[in-house]
Structure formats: C-alpha cells, structure tokens
Amino acid sequence: MLVLLDDFDIDYSLLPHDDVPIVQPLSTIPGLVFGVVFGTALRRSRGIGAAPFLGYVLASGLGYLAAYHAAFFTVLWLDRDHPNPDVLAWAMGGLLGGLAGSLVLGIASKFLLRVPAAAVLGLPVVSGTLFGVLLLLVSFETEGHGVPKSLLVFFALWQGAYAFSLAPLLRTARA
C-alpha cells in the first residue's frame, strides 16, 4: 500500500486516522475539468442555465470522487498483500470506479438536465464502466515518481469515451 501511495507522491499524512473521503488534486480536478468542459458544451447546445451548469460541474466532481475512491480502494484491497498492484487489480479497480462515477453523474444528470434516464444511465454507464478498465495502463508504468504519464492517457481515453457516449445530449435543440 505504501509503495502505491509513494508512486503518486500523495501526502496522506494530512488525513488523520485514514479519513475518507480523500480529497486532493488527483481525486477532484479531473472530474471538475470534465464538468466544466462538457457542461460548457451543454450550455451552448442545449441552453442550460447557470444553476444546472454549476450543478453539472459539481455532480461531475462528485462522480469522479466516487470513481477515484472505488478504484483506489479496490486496487488496494485486491493487492493488499503485494507492494505493487498487478494488472488485474488495476483493471477491476477501473471497472468499479468507472461504474461508480458513471452512476453518480448519470443519476444527477437525469435530474439536472431533465432528460430520460436511458440517455444518461444507459450507454454512458456502460461506456464509463468498460473504459474504466483502461486504468490498467497505470500498471505498465515503470519509472519515476509523481503522476504516471499513463494516468494522463487513461484520463483522455476514459473521459473521451464517456463524453462521446453523452454526445446525443448535445444534439437536443434548445427548449
């Protein structure tokens, strides 16, 4: 577990008694960035107001926080007896993280955007879950400290696939 934490250069000493949730840049920024980017696209294509936009950004941040925790703790649990998680642990963590994040954002989106459940809980949840497997890319990184470059590739592929699955929402005309 400590090797995994060291690989990400994350300082968990600020968390008294291993408090959860773990709120730090890696567990929050990717979700908020996705929320701002896709929320802006929704604002332009659907004409959503400021409140739904801000709600979407927050829901995206919470969805990613859920994804991060599901993935992180799955990886740690599956490889609790090994200092370095294997490919299967990363893949399972990515699957469960993708499912958690997609569900949280999908449920929130249904109410924020007033769209049919299938539009945000069908293909987007399947896509977010299946592309979450790509978290296994992190297991191939062998050098350096800091955020692995493979994690950046993962974010681009995973969030890109999720955004693509939501693209039909952008075709809806303004009300």
pTM attached to this predicted model: 0.83
Q: Rounded to a whole number, what is the largest CA-CA distance in the chain?
A: 55
pLDDT at 18 over 80: no
Token output for 79 = 């490889």
Please give the Cα distance from 3 to 124 (Å, whole number): 33
Q: Could you tell me the residue ranges of all domains in the chain?
A: 24-170
High-pLDDT (> 70) share of the chain, %: 82
Highest mean pLDDT among 76-80, 148-152, 165-169: 165-169
pLDDT value of residue 51: 96
pLDDT value of residue 77: 87
Collect contacts of 13-18 with beta carbons under 8 A, ≥24 apart: none
pLDDT value of residue 13: 41
pLDDT value of residue 145: 57
Q: What does the chain come to in residues? A: 175
pLDDT band at 171 (very low <50, low <70, confident <90, very high): confident
Please give the Cα distance from 169 to 175 (Å, whole number): 13
Token output for 36 = 């701002």
pLDDT value of residue 151: 82
The dihedral built from the CA positions of residue 69, 71, 77 and 80, taken in this order, carries a sign that is negative
pLDDT value of residue 143: 60
Mean of pLDDT over the chain: 84
* DSSP classification of residue 9: T
pLDDT value of residue 147: 60
- In 10 A of CB 131, how many CB atoms? 22
Q: What is the mean pLDDT of residues 116-125?
A: 95
Cα dihedral value 33, 13, 95, 91, nearest 10: 120
* DSSP classification of residue 8: T
pLDDT tens, position by position, 154-169: 989 999 999 999 999 9
pLDDT tens, position by position, 24-55: 788 889 999 999 999 999 999 999 999 999 99
Exposed/middle/buried for residue 52 (C-beta within 10 Å: 0-12, 13-18, 19+): buried
Cα–chain center distance at 9: 19
Please give the Cα distance from 107 to 165 (Å, whole number): 15
pLDDT value of residue 128: 96
> CA dist 85 to 8, 16, 71, 140, 174, Å?
13, 25, 12, 11, 47
